[in-house]
Amino acid sequence: MKNSVSDQSFYNQSEDEDEGKVAWDNDRAEEDGNNSDSSDASSISSYQQHRPSSYNTTWPQSYRQSIDMYSSVASPNIGFLGTPTLSRLGSSFFSSSLTRRHTPELLPTLVKPLLHTDQEQQEQQQQEQRRSSQGLLPPLPTRRSSVKKVLPNHKPSSVSHELPVSNQCSYGQAVINGINALCGVGILSTANAMKEGGWAGLSILFVFAILAWYTGILLRRCLDSEPGLETYPDIGQAAFGTAGRFAISIILYVELYACCVEYIILEGDNLSSLFPHAHLSLLGLELNSHHLFSLITTLAVLPTVWLRDLSVLSYISAGGVIASVAVVLCLFWVGLVDDVGFQSQGTTLNLTTLPVAIGLYGYCYSGHAVFPNIYSSMVKPTQYPSVLITCFVLVTMLYAGVAIMGYAMFGETALSQFTLNMPQNLVASKIAVWTTVVNPFTKYALTISPVALSLEELIPSNHMKSHLYSVLIRTALVISTLLVGLTIPFFGLVMALIGSSLTMLVTFILPCACFLSILKGKVTRTQVSF
């Protein structure tokens, strides 16, 4: 475990820490993100001795990797799939390699020859025997290696290997990742939030945007306070010890699990609106259209959660930004071109249901679980505040535009998802509904994967049974989201509940609490009051 932790911290070495600790060649400034690797395993070992200790030593150790898969554009070049091989994709489904523990023990193999000696084969077998099912981690989205040359007598050479290391995220990538994390299914309910809170309630959205940006900056301050802090659970551990790490991790995982429940409800609502008369009699049970399509959705996403390699889904899921924009454009098209009109005057303020509106608006800014990962993976961390501003401005404009347009079009009849209000006979409405239907299929496995990996870490060490346990855990999670979704089939109310409880904690309360705890004695009275 000590070796694993040391190597794990090696993955997360920032370029700022590289400088001053290792003597690079003069060519390093001209590389501009080009990757090099040492041809000597001993150089890697000497490099690791200079790394500060990592906080990633207790549960959940899979958080960084799983959240990167869930939220990030994996390739350094946006829009291109990099170099993942078809053979890896072909072996991912129901692969026995699901039981392999993705540890930095892979690093030394990059400098070994392809043909191993008997001694090397024995060492490799011993390493395999030491691996347990407590770290069932699929490969990270492929990123180019930033392993640097440490021997001054040799120039760095480009290698074709791709390692899951950080510090490869450009400004554009960080913005896309941030928008992808913020702009989700919450955009469908902003019109309903306007109905619940009235026109004046829209000010809550802008207040939340400002506060969420500020708490995002506080997370950065927490990360910069100590070396080795890279994720939200790390911040919780630095602030409140192991108990803080556990508590924050559980809250984050419950929020992800609740999002999966929302996906099931979303699919049932939209598909039943397309096929309202669909029904099925099964074993004496009569399934209406909502129950039927919820069950079909569950069966459709179940195989995707068994995949070991979710990198392809991460690329497709990154298109969620495009999907959200497409749905918004369809709404505008229906209102402006198809002459649905803006007849509704609405109410100025609805105090009775304002708390529901607060929960719906709060859900719109539930991306703080991802922000520490984005910051620690940026090539230029000083651009992080600018990235946040860009993300929040663009996302808030989308949310506000949908809220105003939807409420002006549908008024007090606005449903939990504006796609349910759009006339079904219009082409733009069909595009919006089908885009909404398809998008969760690409995101479900990525959203439930961090939860599954955290549970798989708790499996007792048993190499032979870990694959079966993994499949059972993931299957049970998917079935449980179906049962919860059928028990509470209210998309808007579930979203308001998540926003009022979990999102408020993750986005507004915990960053402030961690900031005050970690930087106590260095915080001004103004900051404490704010």
Residue 373 pLDDT greater than 80, yes or no = yes
**What percent of the chain stands above pLDDT 90?**
36
Average pLDDT over residues 105-109: 37
pLDDT of residue 308: 73
Residue 31, CB half-sphere, CA atoms under 13 Å: how many?
Answer: 23
- pLDDT interval class at 465 (50, 70, 90): low
Residue 158 pLDDT greater than 80, yes or no = no
For 228, 251, 453, 460, the CA distances from 134, given in Å and listed in that order, are 22, 21, 9, 7
Residue 27 pLDDT greater than 70, yes or no = no
pLDDT of residue 283: 75
pLDDT of residue 489: 87
For 27, 311, 317, 481, the CA distances from 444, given in Å and listed in that order, are 44, 13, 9, 11
More confident residue, 442 or 363: 363
Average pLDDT over residues 148-159: 38
Are the CB atoms for 130 and 2 separated by under 8 Å? Answer: no
pLDDT of residue 121: 54
List pLDDT tens digits, range 346-363. 788 899 999 999 999 999
Is residue 31 domain-resident?
no
- pLDDT interval class at 37 (50, 70, 90): very low
Is residue 138 domain-resident?
no
Residue 166 pLDDT greater than 70, yes or no = no
For 37, 239, 432, 451, 484, the CA distances from 247, given in Å and listed in that order, are 39, 12, 38, 14, 23
pLDDT of residue 120: 52
Are the CB atoms for 366 and 186 separated by under 8 Å? Answer: yes
Residue 242, CB half-sphere, CA atoms under 13 Å: how many?
Answer: 4
- pLDDT interval class at 119 (50, 70, 90): low
User: Where is average pLDDT lowest: 276-285, 355-364, 456-465?
Assistant: 456-465
* Selection from 235, 240, 236, 223 nearest residue 17 by Cα: 223
Beta bridge partners of 111: none
Q: How many domains does the chain have?
A: 1
CA distance 487 to 250: 23
Q: Which of 237-246, 317-326, 434-443 shows the highest mean pLDDT? A: 237-246
Is residue 117 domain-resident?
no
pLDDT of residue 194: 92
Helix axes 171-182, 384-410, angle to 10 degrees: 40
Residue 167 pLDDT greater than 70, yes or no = no
Is residue 493 domain-resident?
yes
Residue 77 pLDDT greater than 60, yes or no = no
- pLDDT interval class at 72 (50, 70, 90): low
pLDDT of residue 80: 33
Average pLDDT, the chain: 75
CA distance 188 to 324: 9
**What percent of the chain stands above pLDDT 70?**
68
Residue 149 pLDDT greater than 70, yes or no = no
User: Where is average pLDDT lowest: 320-324, 477-481, 482-486, 492-496?
Assistant: 320-324
pLDDT of residue 100: 35
Q: Which of 76-85, 107-116, 121-130 shows the highest mean pLDDT? A: 121-130
Residue 142 pLDDT greater than 60, yes or no = no
Average pLDDT over residues 369-389: 91
Are the CB atoms for 396 and 309 separated by under 8 Å? Answer: no
Average pLDDT over residues 420-442: 89
CA distance 446 to 317: 8
**Which amino acid, residue 458?**
L
Q: Exposed e or buried b for every residue in 499-527, given b needs 16+ CB within 10 A?
A: bbbbbbbbbbebbbbbbebbbeeeeeeee
More confident residue, 396 or 347: 396
Average pLDDT over residues 486-507: 90
List pLDDT tens digits, range 178-223. 888 888 888 999 999 999 999 999 999 999 999 999 999 999 999 9
User: Where is average pLDDT lowest: 8-17, 406-415, 450-459?
Assistant: 8-17
Is residue 399 domain-resident?
yes
Q: Which burial class, exposed, middle or buried, applies to 258 when counting CB atoms under 10 A from its CB (0-12, 13-18, 19+)? A: buried
Is residue 51 domain-resident?
no
CATH number where 320 lies: 1.20.1740.10
pLDDT of residue 344: 67
Is residue 315 domain-resident?
yes
Are the CB atoms for 316 and 442 separated by under 8 Å? Answer: yes
Domain coverage including residue 436: 167-528
Residue 193, CB half-sphere, CA atoms under 13 Å: how many?
Answer: 32
